Homo-oligomer: A and B are copies of this chain.
Amino acid sequence: MTRNKVNYALIEDDTKRKFSYTKRLKGLLKKSDELKTLCDVEVSTVIYDPYRNELYAFPNNNVVRNTFIKIKELPTLDRSKKMMTREEFTMRRIKKLEEKLQKVHELMIKADDGEGSTSNAPQPIVESMLSSRDNFEGPMDPSPLLFSEMFPPMVP
């Protein structure tokens, strides 16, 4: 992300990926801690690393547990109403990306001319997929799963 630009894709090289992982994990946790402190919100992060087959909870188990306890305590209606996913963020992002891509693509075509494209469609690609939730893997939850369902009473 510096010295070289970030290539937004999996880092293939094992060593580099692990290295990057370590640094970025630290950075992410710092950021989440800052968010928590500066803005007084509760942030719980869980990371699953398939390479190490490890699962981490941040900032610690108590906070994570408290977060989920709070979740449980929220009135059901309110909870499901306020419960959001990044889907909207994602959609916005995708739209912007696609708009940008399209513009740039048009520019390229203008400036360039005939360059055989393999299969590049500078058109809404993912959008349709996202706009209708029903198109996914068949039976999808009609509504976000309530956390109380996700986390049944934790028996100590």
| Residue positions of A touching B, CB distance < 8 A | 1, 5-11, 17-18, 20-21, 24-35, 37-65, 67-68, 70-71, 74, 77-79, 81-87, 89-90, 93-95, 97-102, 104-108, 111, 120, 125-126, 129-130, 136-137, 140-141, 144-152, 154-156
Contact call B55/A39, Cβ cutoff below 8 A: no
Give bound CA distance, A59 to B135, whole Å.
12
Question: What is the minimal beta-carbon distance from A116 to any residue of chain B, in angstroms?
Answer: 16
Set B8, B21, B79: member contacting A55, Cβ < 8 A: B79
A sample of 21 inter-chain contacts (CB < 8 A) reads: A5-B106, A7-B99, A8-B37, A10-B40, A17-B40, A28-B35, A30-B130, A41-B48, A42-B48, A42-B49, A48-B70, A55-B148, A56-B86, A57-B84, A59-B90, A60-B87, A61-B83, A93-B126, A97-B97, A107-B108, A151-B154
Q: Is the CB of A47 within 8 A of B41?
A: yes
Q: What number of copies of this chain does the assembly contain?
A: 2
Whether the pair A105, B102 counts as a contact (CB closer than 8 A) is: no
A156 CB to nearest chain B CB (Å)? 6
